[in-house]
Structure 1
Amino acid sequence: MEGDDENGVLIEEDYYTFFNIPRDVSYRSATNEEINSAYRRNSRMYHPDKHVDPDRKKEAEILFNKTKKAYEVLSNPHQRAIYDSLGTRGLETEGWEVVQRTKTPQEIREEYERLARERDERKLQQRTNPKGSVTVNVNATDLFSRYKDDFDYDESENLHFPTIEVSGLSITQSIEAPLTLRNTMTMSGQLSTQNGTGTGCVDVSVRRLLSDKGWMELGFGAGNGPTFTFKGFRTLTKRTFSNVATILQFTPHGIRPDLVTTLATQLDKHTVGYLTWRGGIHSSMSTTIVRDTATSHAAFAIQFGIPHSFFSLSYTHKLQEMEMKLRGSVKAGTFGAIMEYGAEKKVSQHSWLAASVAVGIPSGVTLKIKLNRANQTYTFPVRLSDEIMPSSVFYATVTPVIIWAVVKKLIVDPIVHEQKERDKVKQRELNKARMAEKKREAESAVQLMRATFARVRSDEEAKRGLVIIKALYGRPVNITDVSRRGSGSAGSNADPEYMDEVIDVMIALQCLVKDSKLVLHEASKVCTNCKDSC
């Protein structure tokens, strides 16, 4: 039996045990001939046409379908390799038709995990529409202000409470609505306010998939004047693609055109280069190189344009075992310079929490906290000082670490532990139900085997072969041991925890006898009182 109820592992079907053939172990695995022979044996016993009673016929249909399913999996080398590595859950995963049949068990497991993640992401995408983000700007510069107020104040007032205010708020939401297989409509909106001044806009766009190499998108927006957009994407070669975006914004002062064109090419397996040109009121030319591997992500960019030119370098180290990312970046140009460092941690299956510190001239010190939950992003930039001050840098670095440690200990860990316990309880209940179902299935199988049992036993008796008189499955309990563990006597006072269930499997074993031989592939079976040794 596969699965461990105590560890919360789901009990799955064991096709090898059902067919009584050897699993892939050190000495050998079942051959095609053994699989075909087991399939024929079970088909003869469980074929619905061999049973007249309606209840028996219904039970036979269940076991006959299980026989066909087991044969379908074990007779197919590709499905059998997946089943051996992952069990029945691997066979239920979408996308296996694209997996190469020559993959090793480890590669099959990695492919299963990838396909399972993609399936979960697709389900999550459906549950979390609409997409969106919320940004709350917080001004906390009064915490580290070097200067006192210039105006006079009451000398009796000895305490000064710093002022922390929300200086800005921005909310964006979008919904994608498929129109046809090739057309998708996107509706989005944005509301923002900064220092008491608010703006907003609404955009509607339709994207059409032209082919597997390209698409085009037309959009209309209203807010700060009507806006028309056109976007396009095209794959040029196997390693190169390009996109273009044109924006026309109608304002009281005239039309503001904007054009952005990007050409990208894959430099090697992990590296992509981008060349971007932007024309309009703000014109620029930039080059970006991005390298992404399983353990790191690095990007370098340089831009020349109006009003700003700059270069930037960023690096992210991925700690996969800890489910954490460490980030660092430097950016300098005509606007000044800024350095940013931080970390990102996975806090649940679909949630990431990130904190970073930005130190720059003339921007000062800012603490950024970001929470990604599925396709929703919540960002909290907290401005600590307008100048670079050691105290603000220190507290911006240390405070998130301390807060996270406290929150994890008092809130996150108890919630995760409680969730795991609930999952274990559900798993145990499900396994209990499955075990009861398997027990009923086994009892039905014994009843369906009686005709085969009578025939096999008659043949063995006629040729003085192997006739099984009694066969038990399970571990017999030593009465003396039970007496010692319990209250001193076996019987009603014995502790049920130590009483192992023993099942009569004489009929099932006699049906497995072939040419006066019985071959079993499970060491936990106990046979007694046979006329010949098993």
Structure 2
Amino acid sequence: MSSKNEENLIEENNYYACLNISKEATLEDITSAYRRLSRLYHPDKHTDNEQKRKADLLFNKIKKAYEVLSDPHRRAIYDTVGIKGLKTDGWEIVQRTKTPQEIRDEYERLASEENQRRLQARTNAKGNITVNINATDIFTTYDSEYDDYVNSSFFPNIETSGMSISQSIEAPLTSRDTLTLNGNLVTQNGTGSGSFIVSCKRLLMTNGWIEGELAAGNGPIATVKLFRTITKTIFGNFATQFKLTSSGIRIGFITSVGMPLDVHTQGFLTWNIGLISAMTTTIVRNTDKSHSGFVVSLGISSSFISMNHTWKINKEDLKLRIYCKVGTVNSVMECSAEKKVSEQSSLSAAVSIGVPSGVILKIKIIRAHQTYLFPIHLCEEPRLIPSVYATVTPFIVWFAIKKLIVEPFMKEQKEKQIEKQKIINKKKMEENKQEAKAAVDLMRAAYERIQREEEGRNGLIILKALYGKDADTVAKSTTNTFIQLSDVIDVTVPLQCLVKDSQLILHNMSKSQLSGFYDPCVGEDKLLFIQYLYHSHLFETTINDKENLRIPKQSHRINIT
């Protein structure tokens, strides 16, 4: 379910939907729709006191929509910020001297200033925890003449060989200056080290930024970084490092130049000299469906070639990645899968086979801005059996957890949230329901008149229309129990009243805002089922809540044999 504030779960009045017009409607369209609905709801057209009271409420609603949308200035405010903008007294953007575009520009300026104020109070905390696990005893048997050193236990010896923890806090000082504090602790095989980094970045208008960094830990290091756009298509990074060692100050330089090769591809050339000497060429291609990278690095201490490709399966929130590296120091082949399990969480598993690293299974959990990584060392050499286990086991465990824990939990949470939201919005839901019933009651005479007119011209006649959860399933049921269901409502009368010249047009906005409609299942997906006659032929269609619709349409026709 999409994240919404509970108090805003029921959508505010949509003035376009109230008049059943598109957001691109002209003043003529707005006036025509208003006059059409006025003939249904104007209080003077009703003599019964109760009918007059209902009509007065509904007429005031469509009148308010007309008053806003027919005024270019008020319409611009409404289009930009919604009803809340119309309720704000003394706001700069309501000045009558401004054009609609100036109103929108003014709001953008005010919104930018508000974002800057929020920026001052925001800290962007990020953390990473890595726990290295040595599980080589599962697949490797060590033979030794010294029995005391041989593990005689039935269970394999699994131990934590290392751990690292890093945490950073980003604190904006001004709209152009940002201070970042970063701490890092590392322990490996009983020895540990740590570092603390302070950096400050300043934006240089629109063409770059400069950053100063101080690090304390394994020798003090001072770094100055500069990013700048050189031309419209070329940009560069430049960094200078000063490291204090026992033999004096060592200086390093890093220069990187990048440029787009095509719409989706960028190339980088990086030159390191001093602390690390290497020349690196990188090509990166990124599209909606994939991400690829190719790197060639030539250095004094090591050289390598690496390639990676990621498939993005957006419908499943899934990423599949393959990575290959061949170098003078080490070579690695890695396959991984990352699955988004909730709005803020992702889970990934990777199998790495390399020399001299062996076989490593990497489990990673990402929760908001926190990352937890668990590399499990299975074997010190590339071997088949550990590789198979490392590949198959995560999938089996994931599917078991998904079916037994994740899916039942998510389903229960969604049901609880929906029930909670219904309780919170119960009063508003009941008001909308009563308003819809009143509208349908007032439409009866018009419904009968329009239906007679359409029958006379052999035109468009709505036989059945249902709106709500699983409306199409309920409509095709052999029983007529939908009237008792709380999540499906009959909207035959309102839709027939929207028929004009043997046509019905609905726009891409929630149908719950149409006159005579209401939301019968807040927080859940809704469908609109329509069965209709046109030129004495039977038609049927089902659309999503915010889908466009124009009928009659030949593809909706039902061929009766």
| Structure 2 CA distance for partners of 1:72 and 1:307, relative to 1, 3 Å | farther
CA deviation after TM superposition for structure 1 residue 152, in Å: 2.5
Amino acid at match of 1:142: D
Give the corresponding residue for 1:105.
none
| Structure 2 CA distance for partners of 1:166 and 1:77, relative to 1, 3 Å | farther
Q: Give yes or no for the alignment of 1:72 onto 2:40.
A: no
Amino acid at match of 1:13: N
Larger Rg: 1
Q: Give yes or no for the alignment of 1:303 onto 2:297.
A: yes
Instruction: Tell me, in whole angstroms, the C-alpha distance in 2 between the residues paired with 1:63 and 1:250.
Output: 79
| Structure 2 CA distance for partners of 1:37 and 1:188, relative to 1, 3 Å | same
Instruction: Tell me, in whole angstroms, the C-alpha distance in 1 between the residues paired with 2:35 and 2:390.
Output: 71
| Structure 2 CA distance for partners of 1:240 and 1:367, relative to 1, 3 Å | same
Give the corresponding residue for 1:231.
225
CA deviation after TM superposition for structure 1 residue 344, in Å: 0.7
State the SS of the aligned residue for 1:181: coil
| Structure 2 CA distance for partners of 1:176 and 1:153, relative to 1, 3 Å | closer
Q: Give yes or no for the alignment of 1:133 onto 2:131.
A: no
5+ unaligned residues in a row in structure 2: which ranges? Answer: 1-7, 44-52, 87-99, 101-117, 440-464, 466-482, 487-505, 507-513, 518-561
State the SS of the aligned residue for 1:145: coil
Give the corresponding residue for 2:323.
329
State the SS of the aligned residue for 1:130: strand
Give the corresponding residue for 2:238.
244
State the SS of the aligned residue for 1:313: strand
Give the corresponding residue for 1:142.
137
TM-score by length of 1: 0.64
Give the corresponding residue for 1:111.
none
Give the alignment of 1:333-352 within 5 angstroms. Answer: 333-352=327-346
Q: Give yes or no for the alignment of 1:392 onto 2:386.
A: yes
Instruction: Tell me, in whole angstroms, the C-alpha distance in 2 between the residues paired with 1:254 and 1:301.
Output: 33
State the SS of the aligned residue for 1:142: helix
CA deviation after TM superposition for structure 1 residue 64, in Å: 6.8
Give the corresponding residue for 2:533.
none
Give the corresponding residue for 2:15.
15
Amino acid at match of 2:390: A
Amino acid at match of 2:288: A
State the SS of the aligned residue for 1:399: helix
Instruction: Tell me, in whole angstroms, the C-alpha distance in 2 between the residues paired with 1:154 and 1:252.
Output: 40
Instruction: Tell me, in whole angstroms, the C-alpha distance in 1 between the residues paired with 2:197 and 2:229.
Output: 26
State the SS of the aligned residue for 1:423: helix
| Cα RMSD (Å) | 4.5
Q: Give yes or no for the alignment of 1:177 onto 2:171.
A: yes
| Structure 2 CA distance for partners of 1:68 and 1:292, relative to 1, 3 Å | same
State the SS of the aligned residue for 1:212: coil
| Structure 2 CA distance for partners of 1:343 and 1:392, relative to 1, 3 Å | same
Q: Give yes or no for the alignment of 1:222 onto 2:216.
A: yes
Amino acid at match of 2:139: F
Asked if the contact 1:11–1:431 (Cα under 8 Å) also holds between the matched residues in 2, the reply is no
What is the count of residue pairs matched by the alignment? 396
CA deviation after TM superposition for structure 1 residue 147, in Å: 2.6
CA deviation after TM superposition for structure 1 residue 34, in Å: 2.1
Instruction: Tell me, in whole angstroms, the C-alpha distance in 1 between the residues paired with 2:260 and 2:67.
Output: 45
Asked if the contact 1:135–1:170 (Cα under 8 Å) also holds between the matched residues in 2, the reply is yes
Amino acid at match of 1:129: N
| Structure 2 CA distance for partners of 1:250 and 1:344, relative to 1, 3 Å | same
Amino acid at match of 2:68: E
Asked if the contact 2:187–2:193 (Cα under 8 Å) also holds between the matched residues in 1, the reply is yes
CA deviation after TM superposition for structure 1 residue 173, in Å: 0.7
Asked if the contact 1:350–1:373 (Cα under 8 Å) also holds between the matched residues in 2, the reply is yes
Q: Give yes or no for the alignment of 1:423 onto 2:417.
A: yes
Asked if the contact 2:68–2:74 (Cα under 8 Å) also holds between the matched residues in 1, the reply is no
Give the corresponding residue for 1:31.
29
TM-score by length of 2: 0.61
Instruction: Tell me, in whole angstroms, the C-alpha distance in 1 between the residues paired with 2:270 and 2:244.
Output: 25
Out of 362, 371, 374, which is 1:368 matched to?
Answer: 362
Instruction: Tell me, in whole angstroms, the C-alpha distance in 1 between the residues paired with 2:315 and 2:155.
Output: 44
Asked if the contact 2:168–2:181 (Cα under 8 Å) also holds between the matched residues in 1, the reply is yes
CA deviation after TM superposition for structure 1 residue 426, in Å: 2.5
CA deviation after TM superposition for structure 1 residue 400, in Å: 0.6
Asked if the contact 1:22–1:29 (Cα under 8 Å) also holds between the matched residues in 2, the reply is no
Asked if the contact 1:220–1:226 (Cα under 8 Å) also holds between the matched residues in 2, the reply is yes
CA deviations over 1:245-292 (Å, ceiling 9, x no partner): 222121223223222111110111110101111111320001010111
Asked if the contact 2:207–2:228 (Cα under 8 Å) also holds between the matched residues in 1, the reply is yes
Amino acid at match of 2:273: G
Give the corresponding residue for 2:195.
201
Moved over 6 A (4+): 38-42, 62-66, 74-80, 439-445, 521-525
